[in-house]
């Protein structure tokens, strides 16, 4: 643990003391802080509230003990962080992964604050996670883990407080268990406590593919503005789950070529384009892209230099380093993952004239349809999938247009522009609400 003493803006006597785990140089939290620092000069009088953006409102660390199938008891560490609630209840996913840390969850919750505000959703930012390898658990162990975790964080979640959703290694079944556990604890069925649920429990049509669809919608608009035709476009995709796989599917259907794919099992290349449907079936059967007969296996390092026009990082954060930014041949990067590009890489990409559609706009399709699900649960009136997709396309299109106009006006990147739009909305809400007591 490291204790840091903060002085006020004028460098006078210390105003507070913070204790935290000292972040690593490539920490996602430091990436987020660097992004905020680039935005503060553009916020005018609202910059006086800037420190609000650099501090999570609430961080909860919980012990999650469960009885294993063999009768032993194991303990797992869980988190739920609410970064900012000025504009509404917290909103953000829950991930199960062996590398989950408090710093990572803090950063992801902060990006949710920015994402929700940039798109115009009435939410604050939150995120959760458990440090666990879910593939090593049986179904019953996974259920016990989920239910205990939900009970532990139940003191801060709720339909009007904080609404979890699926993320890495979690799905609609996990959300069903979370909803049921919360409902049992409060004594009433509360479908709106989570989103991404199964359809029979109040889930929304279009939710599973929403994030990948958002990548396709915002990417298509960016290509239109760049005067690039989707047909024949070469695309490289990192991560081939709901996000990367759906984006690849939609681009392939519009005539683009998926020439490089990488996931946790390896890298495959085919400069003539892959059969995305066949690859999806292979991944469903084998658990990853490795061994797909319609492409050639390649070292993972080759993925970043594979000849392509569009790069879609749709895996984990921190993947595009400065070195990889210098290697890519892409003209456009669509951030399907959260925080995939390090600040130093952003500078390299900008110097090379490579446009980046940032995560807080590009992958906002999932949280947008989660918002639709939340609204439908409250009203008990559900929309058809065509209506969902039309509403999604309109919201993301309008959000990207606002960010693009801001970038042109301020002569900044789309990422900085998205942060400007979002931070202005968050800090305006903070200012108008005032401080209590």
Active site (catalytic) residues: 127
- For 366, the 3-state DSSP assignment is helix
Instruction: For residue 434, give both structure tokens.
Output: 């005032």
Residue 258 and residue 256: Cα distance in Å, rounded?
7
Instruction: For residue 334, give both structure tokens.
Output: 């669509």
Beta carbons within 8 Å of 186's beta carbon, 6+ residues apart: none
Query: Which position has the token pair 């990572």?
Result: 104
Closest CA to 161 of 52, 65, 62, 60: 60
How remote is the C-alpha of 265 from its chain's centroid? 22
Backbone angles phi, psi at 308, to 5 degrees: -155, 165
B/e letters for 170-192, b = 16+ CB within 10 Å, e = fewer, are: bebebbbbbbbbbeeeeeeebbb
Beta carbons within 8 Å of 55's beta carbon, 6+ residues apart: none
Q: Which helix (H) or strand (E) holds 78?
A: strand 73-84
Instruction: For residue 105, give both structure tokens.
Output: 């969850």
Kindly tell me the sign of the dihedral angle through the C-alpha atoms of 162, 168, 173, 177.
Answer: negative
Check whether the bond before 407 is cis (ω within 30° of 0): no
Backbone angles phi, psi at 293, to 5 degrees: -70, -15
Beta carbons within 8 Å of 42's beta carbon, 6+ residues apart: 410, 412, 416, 420
* Strands 14-20, 2-7: pairing kind: antiparallel
Closest CA to 396 of 373, 374, 369: 369
Starting from the edge strand earliest in sequence, which strands make up the sheet with 296-298, in order?
A: 296-298, 266-269, 257-263, 234-238, 310-313, 332-334, 355-357
Residue 110 and residue 145: Cα distance in Å, rounded?
25
């Amino acid at each position: 643990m490291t204790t840091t003493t903060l002085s006020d803006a004028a460098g006078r006597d210390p105003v507070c003391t913070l204790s935290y785990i000292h972040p690593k140089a490539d920490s996602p939290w430091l990436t987020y802080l660097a992004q905020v620092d680039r935005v503060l000069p553009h916020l005018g009088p609202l910059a006086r509230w800037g420190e609000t953006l650099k501090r999570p409102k609430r961080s909860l660390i919980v012990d999650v003990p469960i009885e294993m199938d063999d009768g032993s008891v194991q303990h797992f560490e869980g988190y739920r962080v609410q970064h900012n609630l000025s504009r509404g209840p917290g909103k953000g996913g829950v991930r199960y992964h062996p590398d989950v840390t408090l710093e990572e969850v803090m950063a992801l919750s902060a990006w949710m604050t920015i994402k929700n505000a940039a798109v115009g959703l009435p939410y604050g930012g939150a995120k959760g996670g458990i440090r666990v390898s879910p593939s090593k658990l049986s179904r019953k162990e996974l259920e016990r883990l989920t239910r205990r975790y939900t009970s532990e964080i139940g003191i801060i979640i709720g339909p009007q407080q904080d609404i979890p959703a699926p993320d890495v290694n979690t799905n609609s079944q996990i959300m069903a268990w979370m909803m049921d556990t919360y409902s049992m604890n409060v004594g009433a069925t509360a479908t709106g406590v989570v989103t991404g649920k199964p359809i029979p429990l109040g889930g929304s049509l279009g939710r599973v593919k929403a994030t990948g669809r958002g990548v396709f919608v915002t990417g298509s608009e960016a290509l239109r503005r760049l005067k690039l035709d989707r047909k024949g476009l070469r695309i490289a995709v990192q991560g081939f789950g709901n996000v990367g796989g759906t984006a690849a599917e939609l681009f392939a259907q519009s005539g683009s070529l998926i020439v490089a794919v990488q996931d946790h099992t390896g890298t495959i290349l085919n400069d003539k384009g892959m059969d995305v449907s066949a690859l999806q079936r292979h991944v469903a059967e084998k658990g990853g892209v490795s061994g797909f007969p319609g492409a050639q296996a390649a070292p993972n390092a080759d993925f970043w230099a594979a000849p392509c026009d569009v790069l879609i990082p749709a895996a984990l954060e921190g993947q595009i380093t400065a070195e990889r930014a210098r290697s890519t041949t892409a003209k456009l990067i669509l951030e399907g993952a959260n925080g995939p590009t390090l600040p130093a890489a952003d500078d390299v990409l900008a110097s090379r004239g490579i446009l980046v559609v940032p995560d807080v706009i590009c992958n906002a399709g999932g949280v947008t349809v989660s918002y639709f699900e939340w609204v439908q649960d409250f009203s008990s009136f559900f929309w058809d999938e065509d209506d969902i997709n039309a509403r999604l396309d309109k919201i993301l299109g309008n959000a990207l247009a606002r960010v693009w106009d801001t970038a042109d006006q301020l002569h900044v990147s789309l990422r900085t522009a998205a942060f400007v739009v979002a931070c202005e909305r968050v800090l305006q809400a903070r200012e108008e609400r005032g401080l209590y007591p």
